[in-house]
Amino acid sequence: MKNNLKRILILSLPLLCKYMFLLCFMEWDLFSHEDIIEDLCFFLVIILLFNNRLLKPQYLTDILCFIYVFYFVLETTSYMAVSSNFTSSYMYLLIESNPSELKEFSSSYFNIPIVIFIISFIGLFFVIRKIDFKKKNRFHSVIGVFGVIVIIAVLKLTGLIESNAYHNVVRGTYGYFEHQNSMKFDSVVDKDQIMINSNNEVLVIVLGESTARGHMQIYGYERETTPLLSSIKDSLYIYNDVISTDVITTKALPLVLTSAFNGGKEKSVINIIDVFNKSGYKTYWLSNQRPIGFYDNKVSELASFSSYVKFLNHRDEVKTTSYDEVLLPELKRTLNTKGKKVVFIHLIGTHFNYKNRYPKAYNKFNSVSETSEKINVINQYDNAVFYNDYVVWSILSDLKKVNAKSAFIYLSDHGENVYDNGTNFLGRTETNLKPVMFEIPFIIWTSKDFELPIDFEYKPGRKFMADHTYESIGHLFGIKHMDMDFSKSIFSTSFKERKRNVVNGINYDTYFLENNE
Task: Give the integer Cα–Cα distance in Å for 29 and 159.
Answer: 20
pLDDT > 70: what percent of the chain?
84
Smallest Cα–Cα separation from 213: which of 234, 238, 233? 238
Do 299 and 443 lie in a common domain? yes
Question: Do residues 168 and 311 share a domain?
Answer: no
d(CA 272, CA 258): 6
Q: Strand pairing partners for 309?
A: 285
Say yes or no: 267 and 356 in one domain: yes
Show which of 131, 150, 180 is a domain's final residue.
180
Residue 318 predicted with pLDDT over 50 = no
pTM, entire model: 0.74
The contacts of residue 112 (CB under 8 Å, 6+ apart) are none
Q: What is the pLDDT of residues 78-123, one digit of tens each?
A: 877 766 677 766 676 677 566 665 676 666 667 788 888 889 999 9
Q: Answer with the residue of higher pLDDT: 255 or 313.
A: 255
Both 238 and 155 in one domain: the answer is no
Do 280 and 416 fall into the same domain? yes
Contact 127, 13 (CB under 8 A): yes
Strands (E), 320-475: 341-346, 406-412, 417-418, 426-427, 442-446, 464-465
pLDDT score at 403: 93
CATH number at residue 502: 3.40.720.10
Q: What residue numbers bound the domain in which 55 lies?
A: 2-180
The reply to whether 398 and 454 lie within a common domain is yes
Last residue of a domain, one of 141, 162, 180: 180
The verdict on 209 and 134 lying in the same domain is no
Task: Give pLDDT tens digits for 281-298.
Answer: 999 999 998 765 444 468
